[in-house]
């Protein structure tokens, strides 16, 4: 299709129904307000939308599910291009690679891969968009075994500022391929990705909850276990103040609880015995502390994993914070619980220490701009913004937590976990920033995608 044969697309303005649909985001506390918006499904429609933005002198901002809307730059004077999948997930059974149209959510990929006894490097929610999650790094529920999810990307299809449709990989435009994988955005609108899958016959997964009074002993035992944990196990320890709401088990709403969630991978049926042993080594000492209020850990197939973390599937209004932390000793555990555990008065619904290390910390020889995270834990926290003073209270408490955790703060962040635009964030060293900027100058000389770049990822904008 030539430039003059591009299809017509419906550009919507505020107040119009298509505008509301295109700008819907998962985080209701962080709505987006572009000058115009359009929903697209095909590469030709993306090309037409980019052409329109150039003609109207608008910046271009891609969007899928809007889970990360609180960390994005303001969209005034921008055309928001919302991608919806043009077709199903396609799996090449010879190469074990899935081609995923932009706009696809992880739940669809998980189901398609499971039909072949495989799994994908997804996160904790089935409703998160695949493309944004992958290209910002992606800390998978299998991450200690597979590494950062972005390392599984084998090819990327996109439309660049000149309106051209490209497919890039390790041999075709390798510099652009390198920059797209964690370089911070600002390169184009992705229309599809190809991602490698891996064997996963069985898993042990779930969540166990205890009263927060047991937090000190539970966290001490868990942190000790993480120091020598096998790479087939990826876990997170959470302190939660769950509301009395539909879908929340009533036994978890009487006060703060401590939750251990995670996944033990069994690549083949023969690995199930070892996976059970690994799970027992993890859970046994914790169950000895006290009987859980609720314990859903069990043997399952990979589709169960995407629901084990119990992330909400409907849009919610949230605010929070994120840090990458070094190893926590007893002082770190006590600091964490003093501000977030029983008696802390924390307004946060969730405060999480996600286990890193393993393959997540290993250099990937063929990786992109971001291919590993050198930290022991990823800290994330969030609270519900339902009243006029909630966001201020959440931000104030997050500031206290950030200050208290400063001795363990690495100064780095994981792009997929950044909670707000104005938080300190850094995921690339200066040489990688400079290299990504060289690609941007070549691929988008006028900078129509510049506002899609997070702070710290470019020295140019």
Helix, strand or coil for residue 157? strand
Which residues lie below 8 Å from residue 301, measured CB to CB, with a gap of 6+? Answer: 114, 201, 202, 203
Query: Containing H/E element for 143?
Result: helix 143-146
For residue 31, give the nearest of 18, 16, 19 by alpha carbon: 19
Backbone φ and ψ of 243, nearest 5°: -75, 160
Taking the CA atoms of residue 386, residue 388, residue 394 and residue 399 in that order, the dihedral angle to the nearest 10 degrees is 160
Query: Containing H/E element for 46?
Result: helix 43-56
For residue 131, give the nearest of 161, 162, 163, 99 by alpha carbon: 99
CA distances from 126 to 176, 308, 311 (A): 29, 10, 9
Per-residue tokens: 99: 């081609």
| Nearest-angstrom CA–CA distance, 190 and 444 | 14
Helix, strand or coil for residue 124? coil
| Nearest-angstrom CA–CA distance, 240 and 341 | 9
Q: For the chain, how long is the longest CA-to-CA vector?
A: 69
Under CATH, what is the fold of the domain 11-83?
3.30.43
End-to-end CA distance of the chain: 33
| Nearest-angstrom CA–CA distance, 31 and 72 | 10
Q: Following DSSP, what letter does each residue of 385-424 receive, concatenated? A: --STTHHHHHHHHHHHHHHHTGGGB-S---GGG---TTS-
Angle at Cα 241 formed by Cα 143 and Cα 148, nearest 5°?
10
CA distances from 44 to 8, 75, 180, 204, 428 (A): 9, 23, 21, 43, 33
- State the burial class of residue 448 (Cβ atoms within 10 Å of its Cβ: 0-12, 13-18, 19+): buried
Per-residue tokens: 171: 């041999």
Give span(s): CATH 3.40.462.20, the chain: 202-417
Question: What angle separates helix 272-289 from helix 215-226, to the nearest 10 degrees?
Answer: 150
Task: Encode 322-353: b = buried (16+ Cβ within 10 Å), e = exposed.
Answer: bbbbeebeeebbebbbebbbbebebbbbbbbb
Q: Following DSSP, what letter does each residue of 160-199 receive, concatenated? A: -TTS-EEEE-SSSSHHHHHHHTTS-S-S-EEEEEEEE-EE
CA distances from 427 to 184, 370, 411, 412, 415 (A): 9, 7, 9, 6, 7
Question: Beta-carbon neighbour count of residue 260 at 10 Å?
Answer: 24
Give span(s): CATH 3.30.465.10, the chain: 90-199+428-444
Question: Beta-carbon neighbour count of residue 199 at 10 Å?
Answer: 14
CATH for the 90-199+428-444 domain, from 3.40.640.10, 3.40.50.300, 3.30.465.10, 1.10.8.60: 3.30.465.10
Per-residue tokens: 106: 């992880």
Per-residue tokens: 230: 């096998």
Whole-structure pTM value: 0.95
Per-residue pLDDT of the chain (461 residues; tens, 9 = 90+): 444 578 889 999 999 999 999 999 999 999 999 999 999 999 999 999 999 999 999 999 999 999 999 999 999 999 999 999 999 999 999 999 999 999 999 999 999 999 999 999 999 999 999 999 999 999 999 999 999 999 999 999 999 999 999 999 999 999 999 999 999 999 999 999 999 999 999 999 999 999 999 999 999 999 999 999 999 999 999 999 998 888 888 889 988 999 999 999 999 999 999 999 999 999 999 999 999 999 999 999 999 999 998 888 899 999 999 999 999 999 999 999 999 999 999 999 999 999 999 999 999 999 999 999 999 999 999 999 999 999 999 999 999 999 999 999 999 999 999 999 999 999 999 999 999 999 999 999 999 999 999 999 999 88
Please report how many Cα atoms fall inside a 13 Å half-sphere around the Cα of residue 163, on the Cβ side: 17
- Per-residue confidence (pLDDT) for residue 1, from 0 to 100: 42
Give span(s): CATH 3.30.43.10, the chain: 11-83
Helix, strand or coil for residue 310? coil
CATH for the 202-417 domain, from 3.40.50.970, 3.40.462.20, 3.30.1330.40, 3.20.19.10: 3.40.462.20
């Amino acid at each position: 299709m030539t430039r003059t044969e591009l299809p017509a697309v419906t550009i919507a303005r505020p107040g119009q129904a298509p505008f509301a649909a295109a700008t819907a985001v998962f985080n209701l506390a962080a709505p987006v307000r572009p000058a115009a918006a359009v929903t697209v499904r095909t590469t030709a429609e993306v090309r037409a939308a980019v052409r329109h933005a150039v003609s109207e002198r608008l910046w271009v901002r891609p969007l899928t599910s809007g889970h990360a809307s609180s960390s994005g730059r303001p969209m005034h004077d921008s055309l928001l291009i919302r991608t919806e999948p043009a077709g199903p997930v396609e799996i090449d059974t010879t190469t074990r690679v899935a081609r995923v149209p932009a706009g696809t959510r992880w739940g669809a990929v998980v189901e398609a891969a499971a039909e072949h006894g495989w799994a994908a490097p997804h996160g904790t929610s089935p409703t998160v968009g695949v493309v944004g999650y992958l290209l910002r790094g992606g800390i998978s529920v299998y991450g200690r075994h597979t590494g950062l999810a972005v390392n599984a990307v084998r090819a990327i299809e996109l439309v660049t500022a000149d309106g051209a449709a490209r497919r890039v990989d390790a041999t075709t435009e390798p510099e652009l391929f390198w920059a797209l994988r964690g370089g911070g955005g600002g390169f184009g609108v992705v229309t599809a990705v190809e991602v490698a899958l891996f064997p996963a016959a069985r898993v042990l997964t779930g969540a166990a909850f205890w009263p927060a009074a047991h937090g000190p002993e539970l966290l001490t035992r868990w942190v000790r276990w993480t120091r020598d944990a096998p790479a087939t196990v990826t876990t997170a320890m959470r302190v939660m103040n769950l509301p009395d709401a539909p879908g929340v088990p009533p036994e978890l709403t009487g006060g703060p609880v401590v939750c251990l969630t995670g996944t033990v991978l069994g690549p083949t049926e023969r690995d199930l015995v070892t996976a059970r042993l690994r799970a027992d080594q993890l859970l046994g000492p914790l169950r000895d502390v006290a009987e859980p209020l609720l314990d859903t850990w069990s043997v399952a197939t990979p589709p169960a994993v995407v629901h084990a973390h119990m992330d909400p599937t409907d849009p919610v209004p949230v605010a929070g914070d994120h840090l990458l932390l070094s190893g926590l000793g007893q002082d770190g555990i006590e600091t964490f619980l003093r501000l977030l555990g029983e008696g802390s008065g924390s307004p946060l619904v969730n405060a999480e220490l996600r286990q890193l290390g393993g393959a997540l910390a290993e250099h990937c020889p063929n990786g992109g701009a971001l291919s590993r995270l050198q930290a022991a834990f990823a800290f994330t926290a969030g609270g519900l913004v339902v009243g006029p003073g909630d966001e201020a209270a959440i931000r104030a408490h997050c500031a206290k937590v950030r200050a208290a955790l400063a001795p363990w703060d690495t100064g780095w962040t994981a792009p997929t976990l950044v909670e707000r635009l104005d938080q300190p964030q850094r995921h690339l060293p200066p040489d990688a920033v400079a290299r990504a900027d060289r690609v941007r100058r070549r691929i988008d000389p006028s900078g129509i995608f510049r506002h899609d770049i997070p702070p710290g990822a470019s020295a140019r904008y």
